[in-house]
């Protein structure tokens, strides 16, 4: 796919990267693309922090005895792995990096609606991140990322308050990003960019933003209550003082279940773009894919108590929530079938982003289907709080969300950096990640059904679990290499990579009609959209789109 | 061969088979779906790979197809839901006349007390082929009582009772885990469930000198002076507790509730909360005065005042219990009372 | 949407095509922010409703110890301030400078009155040892409409007061932020920054103030008026 | 603001203001009357009416040209009711007479 290479210009053009220089020009920028890069750097840091904790945990579990770290250390490792990965990597990952970079460009806008609020989001993220880092460095927190009361409020001897406040502040970063996206998508679309011409990446981010706006405040106030309870012993969540610990779980999961969709929906958006581009086709069932994103966002709010089937809720509530849980499975299935159907009679290329998309399809299918096991009441009783759950949500949140994130990063890297990444290495990395991931997490399904509870650091009384744990640990090292590779070659490409043409994939979408990297306001003239999304037939037939190409 | 590398957990309770059946059904369904998607993706990816000069064929979508793959999965999901709900409901509803065991969880151990009076720590001896009901509470944080071989799990909460039950079908020694993260030694909060043949179980039971739990409760009931108000006639300042357990109770505010374990517990700790109609709220609270174990004994005593057949408690006669549904030969040390930890029957 | 609308207005930011687009974006953004706020308070209302249901008598007794007249007065004060806010928006839209300035000032004064009454209420609770914590005491408080001698469980009353202080405290925090916003609006209005064409900040600040009013409209009956009848 | 709004809104604003004050007074007085379970219902109905008046007239939701703002309000209320209602599903059936323990 190198039809567009002829448009590379030898002279250095002004773009968003070289227009201004100096630290100040970055820290005070309101350019959505620069803010996206700020996020990229900060979330990458937290990704490797969280990944380091994960590797230590896997090493500890290599042998049944608790020999590598102490019990308390291990408890802090999994707690901080969860908090860092969920709140400081996965939730901001695609929206704050790729979404920030692409949402305005894809709809033909010069910037997000509120550029200063966008910058504020990043600063809130950084304040939360610094607090979290400080918390980690000065002793950490051992409540699990779920902060279950009364353990977190009355028993834990770790820095619960600081961690809670870090996540509280970080939550507002997420809310403001979602707010910015919704307003931008509603108000800033270029002329002719109707709702049914929007790229499905935009639809996915729109749905994600709904969750961020309506869900995040609930977990924020819940964490305020936890902090207040811990500091002042109010009794709201403490059964010793008349409170109900299950209320905490209700409020926590009201956000934290939909939060899974904050992670996976944008990834679905990425995969949709990639599959359309590399099979040179319009997406099969555009409207169904778009609506299923919104359906997932809305239905996602109806199912939270399926995390609590054995927690002591009423059996009737359990029935209701189990039934509702399946409502969210249907639109997910619809998406998978539509992606598959898009491949049919396509002209499929195997570039690295597409390999990640294939990986996403496989892992998300397995992750989604094992969700059915957990929604089925009778089976959930046995597998909840075991490694089965761990495996399931890693298939969704790492197999799904992270695969999509990496795929998207490869796909848009030429646009972001103006350089091409090394294709061969990228394909190798995609393969390594896929193999390493399955080796790490598939054995955990078996472990879970055998009954190994999560958050155990010592299983010396259950040596029969060792073989599967060894497999998992072996996989995790492969996975670690798979994640390290892209970071290395992306950094390499920034200096040594070939200059990227404006549209290296010959892809549809307004973002590809800007120069690579784009100028500060993306377009010289406001584009007027006269074509449908994913008009690959017209592109491949040689019709030029009439959007202004900058340069 | 699989001694060190098991792929399927022991199946040792009446529920386990039901859960496994649904689990296998789910594996088949999701296996078929996975196969379908993977085959299609791999086939399309190979068959329609890019060839020079061949353009992709644009297909807009198809409403019939969309409806098909919306409705068929929905139908399958509803089958799974119903099946799962039935299994769940059965596993949540303790049969009448179960043997009762009171469980007190604390960081980081399980304290178990049989209604007959035997106390155990991190170990529970039960007979094969009998319904056992667990009445559980926690002294500190949330724990979870998990026996993988029985496919049974229930969170144990401070401040109230949660209930679970099982019917062991195969003698042996099985893992007991705490499944809800509870602090430093969470992974040390484990134990053994020793399932024995009824005769061996009887022998084990008779080795213990203590009387039934309800007798302990009766003693506490007298020591705390409860008898002065809760008399066996209608003249007491508190309700007569004879035959009260398990019956509907009319409250002062007009509501009617069932006098269950949680109600008795609440009435001891927070007597003003649900006062029986016709009585004055004069009872003092026993919060902080009775321990969880004493509370359990009191509950067991109040239950023992109920007419026979109402609670089970002491009424279950071991002689009438049928042998296990799954009369497997007794395995190695299912019978030894203090089976050493770490040696498990797989 | 014209691509090149008159970009003479200094208030028009570079990335917006028209002033209308900018204004609509700002007010839409504010409404979404208020949606966030609704869910933020929503978590507290959820906790409140559940405990009120579980511990109704205790909540009623605790609620009765709060001065409902002060709460009612505060409701009226906030409603009056909502009126002055809406007058301020109207004055800005119709270029009535004196009315605009005086409405903003009166709004802020009413806001201060509200906080003053709130402070008095808090002080009463503090003196009565009804503030949750080590000094909390709520012994032998009769449950309203229950037989003589039915006393509220102090631990459950403490949950009520915890929720009372968190909910009204969070509301008061919003009032203080609102006062800050209005002080800024007043300065801008004093400098004559607002015109009938451009007064979006007043509209948006007003939306925020009205929202805080609506929260109080619910807090008042829920916290002050549980089972008040004799 | 359109032209006709120049004269009419003041009267409307003061009417709404009066209605809100009356509503406050009604809430206060109704709480003193024993209406049984309806005390809470009456209080909430009055509060909701007042909130609607503020939203529709003071926040100009009524005059908003497009449906978008109304959609935001309606969906927010919908999700709030989800939070309150679905958690109530648990709490209102948890101690259902005659389950589990009998």
Phi, psi of B127 (to 5 degrees): -85, 155
Helix ranges restricted to H, A93-199: 100-107, 115-137, 160-187
Residues 6+ apart with CB under 8 A from B28: none
d(CA B267, CA B286): 9
d(CA A137, CA A134): 5
Q: Please tell me the predicted confidence (pLDDT) of residue B248.
A: 85
H-helix or E-strand spanning residue B154: strand B152-156
Q: Which of C173, C182, C171, C230 has the alpha carbon at shortest distance from C206?
A: C182
Taking 80 as the threshold, does the pLDDT of residue C45 lie above it?
yes
Reported as a pLDDT band with limits 50, 70 and 90, residue C8 is low
How many other CB atoms are found less than 10 A from the CB of residue A544?
A: 8
Q: Please tell me the predicted confidence (pLDDT) of residue B334.
A: 35
pTM of this structure: 0.91
Look over chain C and give the mean of its residue pLDDT values, rounded to a whole number. 91
Q: How far is CA A170 from CA A174, A424, C95, D45, in A?
A: 7, 37, 41, 37
Q: Do B272 and C147 touch (CB under 8 A)?
A: no
- Asked if the C-beta of C177 comes within 8 angstroms of chain A's C-beta atoms, the answer is no
Q: Do D47 and C83 touch (CB under 8 A)?
A: no
- Asked if the C-beta of A320 comes within 8 angstroms of chain D's C-beta atoms, the answer is yes
- Asked if the C-beta of C95 comes within 8 angstroms of chain D's C-beta atoms, the answer is no
d(CA D102, CA D98): 6
Reported as a pLDDT band with limits 50, 70 and 90, residue A429 is very high
Reported as a pLDDT band with limits 50, 70 and 90, residue A363 is very high
Q: Please tell me the predicted confidence (pLDDT) of residue B306.
A: 76
Reported as a pLDDT band with limits 50, 70 and 90, residue B275 is confident
Site from A314, A315, A322 to mutate, D interface, most D CB atoms within 10 angstroms: A314
Q: Sketch the domain layout of chain C as residue ranges.
A: 19-224
Q: Do A214 and D90 touch (CB under 8 A)?
A: no
Q: Do D97 and B248 touch (CB under 8 A)?
A: yes
Residues 6+ apart with CB under 8 A from C41: A221, C167, C170, C215
Handedness of CA A43, A45, A47, A50 (dihedral sign): negative
d(CA A282, CA B55): 13
- Asked if the C-beta of A370 comes within 8 angstroms of chain B's C-beta atoms, the answer is yes
Domain that holds residue A470: 30-540
Q: Do D101 and B92 touch (CB under 8 A)?
A: no
* Residue range B4-54, pLDDT digits in tens: 778 899 999 999 999 999 999 999 999 999 999 999 999 999 999 999 888
- Asked if the C-beta of C51 comes within 8 angstroms of chain B's C-beta atoms, the answer is no
Which of D68, D76, D90 has the CB atom closest to A317's CB atom? Answer: D90
Question: What pairs with residue B162 in β-bridges?
Answer: B136
DSSP label at residue B227 = G
User: What is the fold of B213-304?
Assistant: Cytochrome Bc1 Complex; Chain D, domain 2 (1.10.760)
Look over chain A and give the mean of its residue pLDDT values, rounded to a whole number. 93
Which of C31, C83, C222 has the CB atom closest to D13's CB atom? Answer: C83
Site from D89, D97, D98, D101 to mutate, A interface, most A CB atoms within 10 angstroms: D89
Which of C57, C147, C153 has the CB atom closest to B280's CB atom? Answer: C147
Classify residue C127 as exposed, middle or buried by CB count within 10 Å of its CB (0-12, 13-18, 19+).
Answer: exposed
d(CA A257, CA A385): 15
Q: Do D102 and B92 touch (CB under 8 A)?
A: no
Q: Please tell me the predicted confidence (pLDDT) of residue B216.
A: 86
Q: Do A313 and D90 touch (CB under 8 A)?
A: yes
Q: Give the chain D residue whose CA is nearest to the CA of A298.
A: D79
Q: Neighbouring chains of A at 3+ CB pairs within 8 Å? A: B, C, D
Length of chain C as a residue count: 230
> Has domain B7-48+94-207+314-339 been given CATH number 3.30.365.10?
no
Q: Is A4 within the bounds of a domain?
A: no
Residue scoring higher pLDDT (D4 or D24)? D24
Q: Do C146 and B273 touch (CB under 8 A)?
A: no
Taking 90 as the threshold, does the pLDDT of residue A300 lie above it?
yes
* Residue range B329-342, pLDDT digits in tens: 333 333 333 333 33
CB pairs under 8 A between B and D: 21
Which of A183, A191, A232 has the CB atom closest to C29's CB atom? Answer: A183
ipTM of the complex, rounded to two decimals: 0.90
- Asked if the C-beta of C87 comes within 8 angstroms of chain D's C-beta atoms, the answer is yes
* Closest chain B C-alpha to C150 CA, distance in angstroms: 6
Which of B41, B85, B178 has the CB atom closest to A343's CB atom? Answer: B41
Q: Is A83 within the bounds of a domain?
A: yes
Q: Give the chain D residue whose CA is nearest to the CA of A308.
A: D90
Chain B residues within 8 A of D98 when measuring between CB atoms: 258
CB pairs under 8 A between C and D: 121
* Mean per-residue pLDDT, C193-219: 95
Residue scoring higher pLDDT (B305 or B320)? B305
* Residue range B220-252, pLDDT digits in tens: 888 888 888 888 877 778 888 888 888 888 887
Work out the end-to-end distance of chain C between its first and last CA atoms, rounded to an integer number of angstroms: 63
Q: Neighbouring chains of C at 3+ CB pairs within 8 Å? A: A, B, D
H-helix or E-strand spanning residue D43: helix D38-53
Site from B161, B184, B345 to mutate, A interface, most A CB atoms within 10 angstroms: B184
Q: Do B55 and A151 touch (CB under 8 A)?
A: no
- Asked if the C-beta of A169 comes within 8 angstroms of chain C's C-beta atoms, the answer is no
* Closest chain D C-alpha to C135 CA, distance in angstroms: 31
CATH code of the domain in which A506 resides: 1.20.210.10
Residues 6+ apart with CB under 8 A from A179: A114, A117, A209, A212, A213, C29, C32, C33, C36
Taking 80 as the threshold, does the pLDDT of residue B326 lie above it?
no
Buried b / exposed e over A125-148, threshold 16 CB at 10 Å, is bbbbbebbbebbeeebbbbbbbbb
Question: What pairs with residue B120 in β-bridges?
Answer: B112
Q: Do C28 and A186 touch (CB under 8 A)?
A: yes
* Closest chain B C-alpha to A124 CA, distance in angstroms: 31
Residues 6+ apart with CB under 8 A from B9: A449, A450, A451, B148, B149
* Residue range C53-102, pLDDT digits in tens: 889 889 999 999 999 999 999 999 999 999 999 999 999 999 999 999 99
Q: Give the chain B residue whose CA is nearest to the CA of A289.
A: B66
Length of chain A as a residue count: 551
Virtual torsion, Cα B196, B201, B203, B206, nearest 10 deg? 150
Site from C53, C150, C155 to mutate, B interface, most B CB atoms within 10 angstroms: C150
Q: Please tell me the predicted confidence (pLDDT) of residue C181.
A: 97
In percent, how much of chain C has pLDDT > 90? 74
* Mean per-residue pLDDT, D78-99: 82
Buried b / exposed e over B44-64, threshold 16 CB at 10 Å, is bbeebeeeeeeebebbebeee
Q: Do D43 and C214 touch (CB under 8 A)?
A: no
Which of A362, A372, A382 has the CB atom closest to B30's CB atom? Answer: A372
Q: Give the chain C residue whose CA is nearest to the CA of B269.
A: C153
Q: Sketch the domain layout of chain D as residue ranges.
A: 1-63, 66-102
Reported as a pLDDT band with limits 50, 70 and 90, residue B286 is confident
Contact B76, B68 (CB under 8 A): no
Domain count, chain A: 1
Cis omega (within 30 of 0) for bond into D35 = no
> To which residue do tokens 């790229």 refer?
A199
Which of B253, B273, B281 has the CB atom closest to C149's CB atom? Answer: B281
Q: Do B257 and D97 touch (CB under 8 A)?
A: yes
DSSP label at residue C151 = B
Question: What pairs with residue B173 in β-bridges?
Answer: B194
Classify residue C5 as exposed, middle or buried by CB count within 10 Å of its CB (0-12, 13-18, 19+).
Answer: middle
Chain B residues within 8 A of C150 when measuring between CB atoms: 252, 272, 275, 281
Q: Give the chain D residue whose CA is nearest to the CA of A219.
A: D83
Strands B191-196 and B172-178: antiparallel
- Asked if the C-beta of D58 comes within 8 angstroms of chain C's C-beta atoms, the answer is yes
Strands in B143-147's sheet, in edge-to-edge order, are: B123-127, B191-196, B172-178, B143-147, B152-156
Q: Do C158 and A526 touch (CB under 8 A)?
A: no
Name which CATH class applies to C19-224: mainly alpha
Q: Do A373 and B23 touch (CB under 8 A)?
A: yes
Q: Do C36 and A214 touch (CB under 8 A)?
A: yes
Chain B residues within 8 A of D102 when measuring between CB atoms: 246, 258, 260
d(CA A87, CA A167): 7
Question: What pairs with residue B158 in β-bridges?
Answer: B138
Taking 60 as the threshold, does the pLDDT of residue B89 lie above it?
yes
Q: Is A361 within the bounds of a domain?
A: yes
Chain B residues within 8 A of A460 when measuring between CB atoms: 342
At residue A366's C-alpha, the angle toward residues A361 and A367, to 5°, is 95
């Amino acid at each position: 796919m190198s039809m567009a290479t002829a448009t590379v210009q030898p002279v250095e053009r002004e773009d968003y990267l070289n227009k201004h220089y100096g630290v100040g020009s970055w820290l005070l920028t309101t350019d959505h693309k620069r803010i996206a890069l700020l996020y990229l750097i900060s979330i990458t840091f937290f990704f490797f922090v969280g990944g380091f904790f994960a590797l230590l945990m896997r090493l500890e579990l290599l042998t049944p005895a608790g020999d590598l770290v102490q019990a308390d250390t291990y408890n802090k490792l999994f707690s901080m792995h969860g908090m860092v990965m969920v709140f400081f990597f996965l939730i901001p990952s695609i929206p704050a990096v790729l979404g920030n970079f692409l949402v305005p460009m894809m709809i033909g806008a010069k910037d997000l609606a509120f550029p200063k609020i966008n910058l504020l989001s990043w600063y809130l993220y950084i304040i939360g991140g610094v607090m979290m880092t400080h918390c980690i460095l000065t002793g950490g927190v051992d409540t699990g990322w779920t902060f279950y009361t009364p353990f977190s409020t009355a028993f834990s001897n770790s820095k619960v308050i600081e961690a809670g406040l870090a996540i509280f502040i970080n939550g507002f970063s997420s809310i403001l990003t979602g707010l910015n996206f919704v307003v931008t998508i509603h108000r800033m679309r270029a002329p002719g960019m109707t709702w049914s011409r929007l790229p499905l990446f935009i639809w996915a981010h729109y749905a994600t933003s709904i969750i961020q706006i309506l869900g995040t405040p609930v977990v924020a106030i819940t964490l305020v209550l936890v902090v207040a309870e811990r500091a002042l012993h109010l009794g709201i969540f403490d059964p010793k003082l008349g409170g109900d610990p299950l209320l905490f779980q209700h409020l926590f999961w009201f956000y934290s279940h939909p939060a899974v969709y904050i992670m996976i929906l944008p990834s679905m958006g990425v995969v949709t773009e990639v599959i359309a581009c590399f099979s040179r086709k319009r997406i099969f069932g555009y409207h169904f894919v778009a609506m299923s994103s919104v359906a997932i966002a809305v239905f996602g709010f109806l199912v939270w108590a399926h995390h609590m089937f054995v927690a002591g809720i009423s059996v009737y509530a359990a029935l209701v929530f189990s039934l509702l849980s399946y409502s969210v499975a249907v639109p997910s299935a619809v998406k998978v079938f539509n992606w598959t159907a898009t491949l049919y009679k396509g002209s499929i290329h195997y570039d690295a982003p597409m390999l990640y998309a294939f990986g996403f399809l496989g892992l998300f299918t397995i992750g989604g289907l094992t969700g059915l096991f957990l929604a089925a009441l009778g089976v959930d009783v046995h597998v909840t709080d075991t490694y089965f759950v761990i495996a399931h949500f890693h298939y969704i949140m790492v197999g799904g969300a992270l695969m999509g994130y990496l795929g998207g990063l490869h796909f848009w890297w030429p646009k972001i950096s103006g350089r091409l990444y090394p294709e061969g290495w990228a394909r190798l990395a995609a393969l390594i990640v896929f193999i390493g991931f399955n080796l790490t997490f598939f054995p955990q399904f078996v472990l879970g059904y055998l009954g190994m509870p999560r958050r155990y650091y010592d299983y010396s009384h259950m040596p029969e679990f060792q073989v599967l744990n060894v497999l998992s640990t072996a996989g995790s090292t492969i996975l670690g290499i798979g994640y390290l590779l892209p970071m290395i070659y992306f950094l390499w490409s920034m200096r040594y990579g070939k200059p990227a043409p404006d549209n290296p994939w010959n892809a549809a979408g307004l973002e590809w009609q800007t120069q690579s990297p784009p100028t500060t306001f993306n377009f010289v003239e406001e584009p007027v959209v006269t074509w449908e999304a994913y008009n690959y037939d017209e592109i491949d037939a040689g019709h030029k789109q009439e959007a202004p190409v900058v340069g | 061969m699989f001694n060190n590398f098991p792929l399927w957990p022991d199946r040792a309770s009446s529920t386990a088979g039901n859960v496994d059946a649904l689990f296998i059904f789910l594996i088949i369904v999701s296996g078929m779906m996975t196969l379908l998607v993977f085959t299609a993706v791999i086939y399309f990816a190979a068959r329609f790979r890019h060839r020079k000069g061949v353009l992709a064929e644009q297909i807009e979508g198809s409403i019939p197809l969309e409806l098909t793959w919306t409705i068929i999965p929905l139908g399958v999901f509803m089958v799974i839901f119903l099946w799962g709900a039935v299994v769940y409901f059965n596993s949540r509803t303790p049969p009448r006349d179960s043997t009762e065991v009171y469980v007190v969880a604390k960081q980081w151990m399980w304290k178990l007390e049989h209604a007959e009076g035997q106390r155990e720590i991190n170990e529970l001896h039960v007979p094969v082929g009998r319904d056992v009901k667990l009445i559980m509470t926690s002294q500190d944080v949330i724990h979870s009582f998990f026996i993988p071989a029985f496919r049974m799990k229930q969170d144990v909460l401070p401040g109230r009772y949660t209930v679970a039950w099982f019917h062991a079908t195969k003698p042996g020694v099985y893992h007991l885990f705490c499944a809800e993260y509870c602090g430093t030694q969470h992974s040390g909060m484990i134990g053994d469930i020793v399932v024995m043949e009824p005769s061996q179980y009887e022998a084990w039971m008779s080795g213990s000198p203590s009387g039934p739990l309800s007798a302990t409760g009766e003693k506490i009931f007298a020591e705390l002076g409860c008898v002065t108000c809760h008399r066996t006639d209608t003249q007491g300042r508190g309700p007569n507790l004879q035959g009260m357990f398990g019956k509907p109770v009319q409250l002062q505010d007009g509501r009617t509730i069932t006098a269950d374990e949680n109600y008795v517990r609440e009435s001891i700790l927070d007597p003003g909360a649900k006062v029986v109609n016709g009585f004055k709220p004069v009872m003092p609270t026993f919060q902080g005065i009775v321990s969880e174990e004493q509370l359990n004994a009191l509950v067991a005593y109040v239950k023992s005042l109920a007419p026979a057949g109402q609670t089970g408690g002491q009424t279950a006669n071991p002689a009438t219990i049928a042998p296990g549904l799954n009369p497997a030969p007794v395995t190695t040390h299912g019978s030894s009372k203090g089976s050493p930890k770490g040696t498990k029957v797989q | 949407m014209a691509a090149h609308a008159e970009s003479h207005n200094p208030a028009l930011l570079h990335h917006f095509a028209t002033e209308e687009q900018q204004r609509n974006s700002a007010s839409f953004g504010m409404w979404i922010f208020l949606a966030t706020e609704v869910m933020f308070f929503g978590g507290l209302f959820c906790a409140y409703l559940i405990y009120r249901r579980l511990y109704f008598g205790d909540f009623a007794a605790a609620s009765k110890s709060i001065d409902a007249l002060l709460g009612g007065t505060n409701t009226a004060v906030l409603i009056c301030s909502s009126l002055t806010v809406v007058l301020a928006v109207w004055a800005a839209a119709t270029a009535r400078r004196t009315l605009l300035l005086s409405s903003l000032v009166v709004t802020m004064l009413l806001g201060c009155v509200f906080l003053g009454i709130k402070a008095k209420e808090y002080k009463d609770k503090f003196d009565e040892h009804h503030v949750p914590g080590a000094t909390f005491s709520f012994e032998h408080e009769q449950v309203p409409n229950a037989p003589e001698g039915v006393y509220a469980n102090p631990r459950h009353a403490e949950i009520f007061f915890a929720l009372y202080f968190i909910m009204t405290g969070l509301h008061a925090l919003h009032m203080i932020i609102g006062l800050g916003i209005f002080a800024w609006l007043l300065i801008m209005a004093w400098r004559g920054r607002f015109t009938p064409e451009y007064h979006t900040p007043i509209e948006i600040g007003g939306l925020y103030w009205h929202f805080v009013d609506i929260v109080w409209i619910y807090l008042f009956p829920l916290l002050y008026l549980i089972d008040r009848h004799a | 603001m359109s032209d006709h709004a120049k004269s009419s809104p003041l009267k409307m604003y003061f009417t709404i203001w009066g209605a809100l004050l009356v509503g406050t007074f009604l809430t206060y007085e109704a709480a003193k009357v024993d209406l049984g379970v309806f005390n809470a219902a009456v209080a909430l109905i009055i509060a909701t009416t007042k909130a609607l008046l503020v939203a529709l007239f003071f926040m100009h939701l009524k005059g908003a040209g497009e449906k978008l703002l109304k959609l935001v309000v309606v969906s927010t209320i919908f999700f709030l009711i989800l939070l309150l209602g679905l958690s109530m599903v648990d709490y209102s059936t948890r101690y259902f007479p005659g389950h589990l323990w009998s």
